[in-house]
Chains A and B, each alone.
Chain A
Amino acid sequence: QSALTQPRSVSGSPGQSVTISCTGTSSDVGGYNYVSWYQQHPGKVPKLMIYDVSKRPSGVPDRFSGSKSGNTASLTISGLQAEDEADYYCCSYTGSYTLLFGGGTKLTVL
């Protein structure tokens, strides 16, 4: 199983919006509404930001939103802030109780 495809890096200026894509197949991203997103600052533990494609856990700012179209899921961060600079990973259910992560995207806030 190959990792879900994410851009290696994206960047944006403070206040702007950025979107990170996560592309899979009809057997994972496209087949289930079970995509989650994680934020990881250097040396830190991953943090759940989005689950079930577009739901936010308590405490996650509403600047973070998720969506899906076909085999591609997306994480959009609006009103970029310096603290958003981190690595972001998507994860999808792939059936039979198995899970698959994306390769990760480094977000740089210019």
Chain B
Amino acid sequence: QVHLQESGPGLVKPSETLSLTCTVSGYSISSGYFWGWVRQPPGKGLEWIGSIHHSGITHYNPSLKSRVTISVDTSKNQFSLNLSSVTAADAAAYYCASVGSSPPHYFDYWGQGTLVTVSS
């Protein structure tokens, strides 16, 4: 069974960079698959942020592309999200997930999510 767990600061200052890590267990990232990030502002809907292949190939939401970097560390079986120049609009629950099939297009395993607040 694939298990994902997000970690990172729950509070980020405006204009700074949000950094989160997702640790995967029960499956080796190096074996394949795409891995992604999804966010959900309080009381609002889901938004796909981006996805990464174990090889390091990335794909981003065009609306966030200029501020997003997703990276993978196969030695630690982790992948990470960096979102720069955050504002209050970036406050949300951030989920990491596995993205199934090819092309990757559905989220089959999800982390529990981590709530990020943006405030000075």
| A residues with CB within 8 A of B | 1, 3, 32, 34, 36, 38, 40, 45-48, 51-52, 57, 89, 91-93, 96-104
- How many of B's residues come within 8 Å of A, CB to CB? 24
Q: Judge whether A36 and B62 touch: CB under 8 Å.
A: no
B73 → chain A closest CB, angstroms:
21
Which 6 pairs across A and B sit closest by C-beta, in order of nearness?
A: A36-B106, A97-B59, A51-B106, A93-B105, A34-B105, A104-B45
Measured CA separation A43–B92 after assembly (Å) = 13
List, in ascending order, chain A residues with CB within 8 A of B59's CB. 96-98
Contact of A99 among B48, B95, B108 (CB under 8 A): B48
List, in ascending order, chain A residues with CB within 8 A of B48's CB. 91, 98-101
**A-B CB contacts (within 8 Å), total count:** 71
Find residues 67-120 in chain B having any chain A CB closer than 8 Å to their own CB: 95, 100-101, 103-108, 110-113
A95 → chain B closest CB, angstroms:
9
Measured CA separation A57–B101 after assembly (Å) = 13
Contact of A45 among B60, B104, B108, B110 (CB under 8 A): B110
Measured CA separation A32–B111 after assembly (Å) = 27
List, in ascending order, chain B residues with CB within 8 A of A92's CB. 105
Contact of B46 among A34, A38, A51 (CB under 8 A): A38
